[in-house]
Every structure is written in structure tokens, then in C-alpha cells.
Chains A and B, each alone.
Chain A
Amino acid sequence: MTTTTEIIQAACPECSASVEFTRTPLNGEIARCAACGAELEVTCRSPLRLELAPEVEEDWGE
């Protein structure tokens, strides 16, 4: 994780592009890679780590 002028960033695990957060993300937070469109999940805050977000489960919903 690197922090520059309050931008927090980590590499997209799909395409290695930089994914930026304007504030500290929480575990489980969802982001989308602007470069490849992959849906990503924050799995560790320090150091910031992103993984591909899990597919929708059968019992998920609103």
C-alpha cells in the first residue's frame, strides 16, 4: 500500500492497474477496477490487498 496526498492505492489482481481509494477502505469494501472492470474486494487493510470479489451466492439478495 502506498499513500500519496491522501490517495490510497493497490494493484488490481486481474490486470495490475492501480486501484485508488480516496479514503481508507474497510475490509469487505467493494471497488471496481477502472482499467479492466473487475469487481474487487478489500481483503486486508494493512497492507491494502484486493482480491476478485466473490460471485453472487445463492442466498444473497435484498
Chain B
Amino acid sequence: MRIAMLYTRLRVEERLLLDAFDTAGFCVEPIDTRSIVLDPANPDAWSAYDAVFDRSLSLTASINIGRVLESFGLRVINPTSATEVCSDKLRTTLALERAGVPTPAVRVALDPESALGAVGEIGYPAVVKPTVGSWGRLVARINDRDAAEAIIEHRAALGSAQQGVYYVQEHIDKPGRDLRVFVVNHEPIAAIVRTSEHWVTNTARGAAAANFALSDEVVALAASASRAVGADLVAVDLLECPRRGLLVNELNHSMEFRNSIETTGVDIPGRLVGRVIEIAGSVGTASVGGAS
């Protein structure tokens, strides 16, 4: 059984994953996505692998490489369909809404004037986010009409078609923290609580992390969210809404976990790798090249 692991930069997370494969006595081949040339007509270069574990930092690389490899019949972890849903906040919202998973209210507009109306419908404060993006980049809380006009004008001036999608989300008056739940095969294995004085409670933006004991409610909600997007491995971010209870804010298909191992006491890379090996073992090599 052979597994390839795609990466863009070999960060602490990827090193820990390679170590976990090694500990499991398993052969894995790390492949820098920047070195890849794909021939969509010929799967031979990939026929040696039973599965491909995608840890690319680049969403563009993940999706484009994933599509080609899956067309060869290779099992990609996470499936490209799940990556596409998790990486796009609007698609995440749609998946959660269709599955009946509670999530903050959202309006979407494609024109600056309509975006002002969308913010008005959601009410102040509102949150405007790029549909594609991570680590809290370009996320803005809008407290009043003046701020809405300024933010929307600036977004329009960026000139990117992607920034022309105005994803306006209900602001959740959370208690200075959010929860991140690590989920493997729809089973929550650990959780952290991220606390910050800033309204963006992202560890990439300086939030502090501590262990959070999994409750039945958190387990059920995170598992439902994972199923809704069809992910093998995912980190589910939850917000505690004073009015509506727990809400799923977003899902992360290529989770960071370096600061959550000691915090939770759970061998997160070991659990992730264990699932990847399970999937690869269940796939076998027969399917490579067999899909259309």
C-alpha cells in the first residue's frame, strides 16, 4: 500500500504527519505540488498510489490536482468535492442549510449597492467575508451604515472578481471565544476553545487555545457538519450564540493542529494518519485508471 502526501510548504503540521506515518510503519511519499505536471490522459505516473493525502496550502493546487487524480480513480483525502465546499463560505452555508445544521444567517449580493441592502437585512453589526479565504483575512465587522459604505467601496476597488461576491453574515455576539472541533471520519476526537479580546477568535490572529471537553451537543453538531460536507478529516468551528445556541461557522479541510496536540492531549496527527491509512487500505490499487 502506498500513499502520496501533497504539500505546498512543509510546515510543522506536515512534518508531524510524516512522523505519524513513520510511527505507523507506513511508506508515504511527500510530493511538492509545485513539482507536479499532470497528463489528464495518462494516470500511469500515479498508478503506484492507493490514495493521495492532500495537505496543500494552496486551494487552487488542491482542487485542480484533486480533480485530475480523482478522474484517474484515485482516492483523494479529503475528496475534492469536500474541499470545494469547505473552502467556499457560500458553499459551506448551502451545505449546512440543506442538511439542517444551524449556522449564522447569511445574505449574498453581487453588486455594491445590493451589498448595502444585504447588510441592512442582516442588521448591524454584520460581518463581511471573502467567500474564499482563511486565517481571518479581509474579514470585516461592520457596525454602522458609514462603515458598510466604506468597506463595500474598498472591496469593489480591489478589482478582483472574487471580491465582488459580498458574503454578509450575521454577527454572533459570542462570549469572547469560539470552539474548534477536530473530526475524523465524522467522529469528533478533540476540541479546543479559542479566546481573544479581539472579535476575530482565530489563533492565526493571536487567539489563545485551551482544551475543551467534548459535550454530547458539540459532538453531535460537529459530526453533522462533517457529514454535510462529506469530509474525511475536518476541523469544525463553532460559535456560541446567546440566542440560538451553538452554530457552525465554518469547516476547515486542511486543518492546522500544531498547538492543539499538547492542549488536548490527543495525538491529532496520529488520528489523521490512521484514517488515511484505513482509507488507502480499503481502496486498493485496482481502481486507479478505472474512472472516467
Contacts and interface: CB of A to CB of B under 8 A. Distances in A.
Interface in B28-73: 30, 32, 34-35, 57-60
B30 A41 contact: no
Contacts of B30: 26
B169 interface: no
B9 A59 contact: no
B9 A61 contact: no
Interface residues of B, number: 27
Contact of A60 (B59, B235, B255): B59
Contact of B135 (A30, A42, A53, A62): A62
B252 A62 contact: yes
A61 B12 CA distance: 15
Contacts of B210: none
B58 A57 contact: yes
Contacts of B60: 59
A62 B32 contact: no
Contacts of A30: 9-12
Contacts of B133: 58, 61
A28 interface: yes
Given A26-B30, A27-B32, A28-B32, A61 B87 contact: yes
A57 B7 CA distance: 14
Interface in B226-251: 235
A44 B255 CA distance: 27
A29 interface: yes
A61 B57 CA distance: 6
Given A62-B235, A62-B252, A28 B7 contact: yes
Interface of A: 25-30, 41-42, 53, 56-62
